[in-house]
Chain A
Amino acid sequence: GNSVTQMEGPVTLSEEAFLTINCTYTATGYPSLFWYVQYPGEGLQLLLKATKADDKGSNKGFEATYRKETTSFHLEKGSVQVSDSAVYFCALGDSGGGADGLTFGKGTHLIIQP
């Protein structure tokens, strides 16, 4: 079945540091890939997505590239801010029609210190 693996953290960085959160996946076919973010006390919000190999999703300074050869979708940001502190989830959508809903990683808790 489908699975997503990501570093769980917590990951603690100083403001303006470079961020990488690794995400790798196992799936059949050509799934869509997503990064969702969950701020304290809130539901999940879509951060960015990519639907095919070599696509780059980007939003709010965050980027991730769909790498089929390494089955990865790592999240990066060049300069993080305190407001980026949240839990980040990597997810994949079944290309076969979503029979299992979205498959999520366990989430990475990111803490940015001023």
Chain B
Amino acid sequence: KAGVTQTPRYLIKTRGQQVTLSCSPISGHRSVSWYQQTPGQGLQFLFEYFSETQRNKGNFPGRFSGRQFSNSRSEMNVSTLELGDSALYLCASSEGFGAGELFFGEGSRLTVL
């Protein structure tokens, strides 16, 4: 069974731009969560989607948004990029909704210049 796939793996943007990251979950998994990983703050929960609906959201500004499609694939978008948005963005999938066992992708590393 294929694992969680995230694209792109690396990207560089400049301040003020926007970015879209994509995540394909493990086949059969209906929940997708997103986390931001930085050296200073560690891993922080962004949001969780289940059956195309955002179920939970972490403490991030409205510039961070996401969506989930009917095939469970998910995208997250960050608008008006700031230098502090430079991070590794990790997607995780799980069979059900809620904070159970998560399967993580390798992440998308975003650098904002």
Listed in ascending order, the chain A residues whose CB lies under 8 Å from chain B are 32, 34, 36, 41-46, 49, 89, 93-94, 97-107
Chain B residues in contact with chain A, CB under 8 A? Answer: 4, 33, 35, 42-43, 45-46, 48, 55-56, 58, 90, 92, 97-107
A34 touches B106 (CB 8 A): no
Q: Can you list 15 A-B pairs, Cβ within 8 angstroms, ordered by A? A: A41-B106, A44-B104, A45-B104, A46-B102, A49-B101, A93-B100, A98-B56, A98-B98, A98-B100, A100-B58, A101-B45, A101-B46, A102-B43, A102-B99, A107-B42
Total contacts A-B at CB 8 Å: 64
Closest to A91 in B: B43
Contact B104 A43 (CB under 8 A): yes
Most chain-A Cβ atoms within 10 A of its Cβ — which of B97, B100, B103? B100
Chain B residue nearest in CB terms to A49:
B101
| Residue from B4, B43, B101, B102 having most chain A Cβ neighbours under 10 A | B43
Instruction: For A99, give its contact among B46, B56, B100, B106 (CB under 8 Å).
Output: B56
Nearest B residue (CB) for A105? B42
When C-beta atoms are compared, the residue in chain B nearest to A94 turns out to be: B99
Write out the residue numbers on chain B whose beta carbons fall within 8 Å of the beta carbon of A44: 43, 90, 92, 102, 104
Pair B42/A98 contact, Cβ less than 8 Å: no
**B58 touching A101, Cβ below 8 Å:** yes
